[in-house]
Amino acid sequence: MREPKDCTEKAHIREAIDELDAQLVDLFAKRDSYVRRMAEIKTHPSQARIEERVKAVLDKVLERLEERELAPDLYMQFWEDLIEVNIAWEEEAIAARLAGDKE
C-alpha cells in the first residue's frame, strides 16, 4: 500500500482505503472473537457490564485518539456504540447459555 504522500491519483487513494477497510474488518472479527470468548467465560449476564472496564477502555481509546490527532467527537461515539453492542450481545449469549444449561 502506498503512503498518502505517494498517492498521485484518486485511484491510488481508493485502493489504499479499500485495503484499510478490509484490515479494519479483519481486526473487528478478531476483536469479536475475544468478546465471544469472554461471554463463554463469564458466569452471569450481570458480568457483561463492568463499568470500571468500560471507562478504562474508553480512556485508553481517547488517549490514543489524542496521540494520533484524530477527532474524539467522531471516534468516541463509535467506540461507545461498539462497547454497548458488545455488552448487549454478551448479556444475551450468557443468558442463553445459562438457560440451555438448565434444560
Instruction: Single out the residue of 24, 15, 88, 101 nearest to residue 54, CA to CA.
Output: 88
Q: Share the mean pLDDT of the chain.
A: 95
pLDDT per position as a tens digit, 45-67: 999 999 999 999 999 999 999 99
Q: How many domains does the chain have?
A: 1
Percentage of residues of the chain with pLDDT beyond 70: 97
Question: How much is the pLDDT for 87?
Answer: 98
DSSP 8-state assignment for residue 89: H
pTM for this one? Answer: 0.85
Report the CATH number that the domain containing residue 9 is assigned in CATH.
1.20.59.10
Using 50, 70 and 90 to split pLDDT, how confident is the model at 97?
A: very high
For residue 103, what pLDDT is reported?
57
Neighbour-count burial for 84-93, b at 16+ CB within 10 Å, e otherwise: eebbeebbeb
pLDDT of 29 higher than 80: yes
Domain of residue 56, residue span: 4-102
Residue with cell 477502555: 57
